[in-house]
Amino acid sequence: MEDREKKAAERAAYAEALAAMDDDALVATTEQQCWLSAFANNNPRAPAHWKSDLTYAEANRREKPWLYQSGWNRAYMSCGYEPSEAERARATEAGYKAAEAARNAA
């Protein structure tokens, strides 16, 4: 198997694992991968970057994008920062839908 095929297989397996998770596990995994992606900022080939992207894709596939925002907020807070009020609101279903409605109305 070529390197490209191995990477594709690894990504497909990870996407399947994410799809099998419940929402709470997806949020926890998103937090971990966002944190690792930020930590690996100087290494564009770090697996955490594509793994973080896949957590985003999985949240959107479920039509629950607030799950990704919730995990992102948790990673941000674990680094000693505070998410904005808008970021905190978008981490809930109601807050996300209200922000989208406001954005679409503009």
Domain boundaries, the chain: 3-105
Digit-coded pLDDT (tens) for 9-36: 999 999 999 999 999 999 999 999 999 9
With beta carbons less than 8 A apart as the criterion, state whether 41 and 12 touch: no
**pTM higher than the cut 0.85:** yes
Long-range Cβ contacts of 93-102 (<8 Å, 24+ apart): 93/64, 93/66, 95/66, 96/65, 96/66, 96/69
pLDDT of 1 reads 64
Number of residues assigned to the chain: 106
Digit-coded pLDDT (tens) for 48-75: 999 999 999 999 999 999 999 999 999 9
